[in-house]
Structure 1
Amino acid sequence: MKEKSAAFSVTSEIGRLKRVMLHRPGRELERLTIDNKDNLLFDDILWVEEAQKEHDAFADLLRDNGVEVVYFKNCLSHILKDENIRKSLLEDVIALEALDIPLSMALLSELMAMPSDELAEILIAGLTKKEALQILSPCTSLVLNSIGDYDFLIRPVPNLYFQRDPYSFVQDGVVVSVMNFEARKKEPLYAKYIFENHPYFKGLKIFYGTQSRDTYPYHIEGGDVLVLSDKVVAIGISQRTSAGTVQIVGSRLARSSSVKTILAFDIPKTRAAMHLDTVFTMVDRDAFTVYPGLSETLRIWELNYEEDGTLTSIKEHSSLKECIKKVFDISNVRFIETGGGDPIAAARDQWNDGTNTLALEPGVVVTYRRNVASNRALRENGIKVFEIKGAELGRGRGGPRCMSMPICRENIHK
């Protein structure tokens, strides 16, 4: 990683992207089978080598546009070099796997002696009973006796390439997520250890995710968090983020940042609209992609806070467009509809993340090439579109925004 000066600064969705966190998909995706894909939150099985090529091309496109790419796995491997950090993280991971004490102790002993890069691979790709028996000393374990050779002692985290969800950078701090589904609960755990222990992240504010109350059922996921400006953050009330958490996070941000307004978007609680950024993203200073019909069914509340985090008002808005005009203090807002507004094209593109754009700077975005109608609509509205292949990556139900977490953007509000 490069210099640490101004390393963390995300005050908008569209400021020129300077630094981003990615995870290159790996062996964890090879763990997907027709039998376990649903529990691991996948609709299909990916061709891993092709997904890696697509992801590498995505990372290269970002670099070609002046973006520094930081890899999550490298950060995890780095902190695992410290014996105390390694032991603490492993104890937390093993506790989540509900192993018996003899097996836990035997597994901990072997993993403590493993090179950090190999251990990072296991924490991400998982460890089966068959693989564990190759390294474990004999132990009296009911778990080992009762599970099959290909059952997991440490479960994989195949959704990790969707780096948007386990945490959200807001200004000079981060909201560490509390994931709704069991399959993703270890991702924010790894992220929290990185942010608390990696020297690059020293001094990073953690707004949410470290206090005793920051756990089930107070869910929040990064795909529901949109940093609209240095004063306004939108958060979806969704399948994966609860209304109570929105209010708590708003208070924390108000106390520790310049954000004093939260827009709470109540979106459909469905797989196709799992996060706010699957139906609504910002692409320019006055322009947003939006799934057709959302503005007619959406409920949206404006929450205003004092400097000390006290909530002073909650106001429901009847019009998404008028709400955006008010909080941005602008006279006109452009909504660019997914699929160009055609209901069939919109439904097809929505399933393939046509609304899930990643802004490189105002009016410049990255999208999947397959979303032809949506990309055409963006260009017709003056948006420059960089297209990437996503035939395999998109099978996981996430687009360019889902796969990336900006760490630093240029401040457009100066």
Structure 2
Amino acid sequence: MTSPLRTSYTLIPNQRYRRSYRHSSKFSNIQDTDSSSLSTLGNFKALPLEIFHMVLEYLPVKDISILSLLLKRCTLLLPTKERLKYIHKILSEISCFKLSGCMDPLHCSGLLCYGMFLQVKTIKILSCTLTSGWDELECHRVYNFLCEMSNLTRRMQTVVRSARKLELRIRIFCRNVLLNHWIHWGDSAFWLTRILKPWPMVNQARLLYIIFGPASTLDGHVVWHKMIDGPTDETSLKGLADAIKLLYDTEAKEWTADDVISLVDELAVVPREWLLENSARLLILCGNNICFTFMASKAVNGRAIELARLVVSLALVCEKDLYCMDWAVKMMQKVCKVFSTPGERNNFLQSVENAFAHITMDALQSVISGDHEEEDSSFLNLFHLVNAQANFHKEILYLTMSSNL
């Protein structure tokens, strides 16, 4: 490239000139900068859009993100908002970089490229080096700009009202553009907080399920009945568990433990009440701290019967998924200490035994009266439940005997 690239925009000016140029009228309007900024692209300006699109298809995502070095030089002196407008103007010429632009968003890398590009570009907006970190005010400006350009807030408002056509696009946009590229959990927590916090808790839970819940392997659409119809696997719950851990982390400053536990409680009834085994599996994937806090909350609020059924479900999941059963016993032992009186603790332990008996009888009744097609799965569930009860009580005996010897 020759002379067109060697303009004043590509040179880093002396520090004493930067402030005066930044606030001069020359850069106060994006329309005034389009022609001069585009001129710095040199021969790239003449590249047809179709050819540019073909080039992007052959480049890895990380290589595409390097193109932000070029735009950084083109827009070095512009304020953050104007630089974002400039980026949007260029990228919006390619439909795959828009929230609803691509005809096949599930198999398109457009939004993934946009997310990588935006991450690198925005970091350079905020500082001259990649190690300087984020300024929170600037982060808010970036998110607000994205919401404005993509009409994200209105689309989210529509999707929480069961607009199935938008679910996949909201899911892909939030994950590929806003959430998936950050190295540090604190950065991801910031963007997820921006997505969820403006909404009431019930909508937060629904959005969380839309973005991280189980999706069809065929068309990518959210599978709403997955948690209701029967036991699910860890893969279907891992995304939700990781998101919950992200919000519970100490770097997510806008979330208290009560906020996160309330969100988990609300999530377990989206779209209707989950099978309790699936709730237990989610809590196990969320880790010890969240699981205990969730259970302790039920103990403190007098929900001992619900808590007892949850203990049985935790034991069942440990049996099915080959977790150590002593974990479930020790978790119950820890929760017992939350009860304020021996009477409350004894009532809880009695409720656990009653829950084992009732759930086992329900499983047996399902085997006896179930349809022929469901007979095998019902019997297998009963088999796991009986083994779970035996192994659970075996660990209690070990614990009791070892402490008495």
Computing the radius of gyration from Cα coordinates, the structure with the larger value is 2
Which one scores higher on RCO, CA 8 angstroms, separation ≥ 6? 1
Pair in the same fold by TM > 0.5 = no
Q: TM-score scaled to structure 1, two decimals?
A: 0.24
Q: TM-score scaled to structure 2, two decimals?
A: 0.24
Higher helix share: 2
